[in-house]
Structures are given as C-alpha cells and as structure tokens.
A and B are shown apart, each in its own frame.
Chain A
Amino acid sequence: GAVVSQHPSWVICKSGTSVKIECRSLDFQATTMFWYRQFPKQSLMLMATSNEGSKATYEQGVEKDKFLINHASLTLSTLTVTSAHPEDSSFYICSARGGTALHFGNGTRLTVT
C-alpha cells in the first residue's frame, strides 16, 4: 500500500531556532500534500496544502511566514517552523493523496523549549 514517511519523529529545539520536517511519499507520486497540526486530544487541523511546483495554500489563521512549506518534487514536501516559540509545540502530521484517499505520515512531535 501507499506509504508516507515523515521525518523526524520527534524534535526538541530552543526558542528562536528553526525546524524542518520532511514528508516523503515512498511508492507513489503526490502532486498535493497536506500539513496538519494536532493538539492533545483534539482533531487534526489543516494548516496548508502543498502543491508541487507552486506556492502552498494556507488555511485562515496560519502564518505563512512562520510555517514555510516547500514542495520541490513529486515525492517530497517540507515544513519549516521558523523562529519557533513554545506555543508552536505540537504534533505535526503530513499526508499525501494517492488515488482517492489520503495517506498519512507518522507525525512529528515538536517541543520548543
């Protein structure tokens, strides 16, 4: 089945630094990938839609200068959390569309100290 690999699984960084999260579709090409954020015991909130070769589409309330998304190839999208603050600590999940279903990565637990 379709596999989406997300790296790293967890990261701890200091306030003010930037963190990059990678999302790869391993056995299929994904022109569109999605980035979600999940707070404890809450649902997934769509942050942005990442389109290969073009700018990402951000959801209302998501700062595009803070959450930089790059979709350089059909199998890789990256999310960079710039100048991270403790309130950015969360679980970030990517997904890629393969066929008519979304396939999800394992998520990245970001902790900003």
Chain B
Amino acid sequence: AQRVTQPEKLLSVFKGAPVELKCNYSYSGSPELFWYVQYSRQRLQLLLRHISRESIKGFTADLNKGETSFHLKKPFAQEEDSAMYYCALGLGGGSNYKLTFGKGTLLTVNP
C-alpha cells in the first residue's frame, strides 16, 4: 500500500538558516507528489507539486525516484514560514483519485 513518511514531527531553525523538511514515499508506480502548508488558524493550502517544478515562497522540492523522496527545501528560512507542512501522494484518476498525507512536520522559525 502507498505510504508517505515525514520522519520529523517538529523542526526548529533560526531565521536565515537553511531548512529541509523530509518526505519519503512508498509506491511502485509514478507518483504525484505535493507539499501542503497550514498556517496557524488557516486552511490547508497547496504549496507546490512535483510536476510543475516551481518555486513557491522560496521553497523547492525535487522528486528523487531512486531514494523515493520529495524533500522540501528553502535556503533562508523566514519567520512567516512557521507552519505545519504536509507531504502528500496522489494516486489514481477520476473518481478513484486519492490523496494520502504524511503526518506532518511543524516548522518553527525563530527570530
């Protein structure tokens, strides 16, 4: 069965430091991977997806099929990046589509 693992429940860094939030997945096919972010008292929102290979708010994530990873990175963390981050794996199509979430990592960026 497909699974998404985020090994760190909590991650704390100082402002300006690099940050990497780890995500590993288990799926034998071609995965569709996402990072979602949930700021305090706000809804879950899409941060980025692997197919678009974009950088949002300075964050990037590269799919590494060999290591089955999709780590989220930012070279210089900002205080406003403090939030809960979820890695998610999308599978299936049409009415069979399903998004499986990791347990999330709470990022705290200290001043």
In this complex, what residue of B is CB-closest to A36? B101
Q: Main SS of the interface on chain B? A: strand
Q: How many positions in chain B have a CB within 8 Å of any CB in the partner chain? A: 22
Q: Provide the B92-107 mask, 1 if CB < 8 A to any CB of A, else 0.
A: 0011011111111000
State whether B101 touches A100 (Cβ < 8 A). Answer: no
Q: Chain A: interface residue count, which band?
A: 20 to 34
How near does chain B come to A93, taking the closest CB pair, in angstroms?
Answer: 7
B96, chain A: closest CB distance, angstroms: 8
The residues of B with any CB-CB pair to A shorter than 8 Å are 32, 34, 36, 42-46, 49, 51, 86, 90, 94-95, 97-104
Note all chain B residues with C-beta closer than 8 A to A107: 43
Task: Give the chain A neighbours of B103 by CB distance below 8 A.
Answer: 42-43
Q: Does A35 interact with chain B (Cβ within 8 Å)?
A: no
* 21 pairs, A vs B, C-beta closer than 8 Å: A31-B94, A31-B95, A32-B94, A32-B95, A43-B101, A43-B102, A43-B104, A46-B100, A49-B95, A57-B95, A93-B43, A100-B32, A100-B90, A101-B34, A101-B46, A101-B49, A104-B36, A104-B43, A104-B44, A104-B45, A107-B43
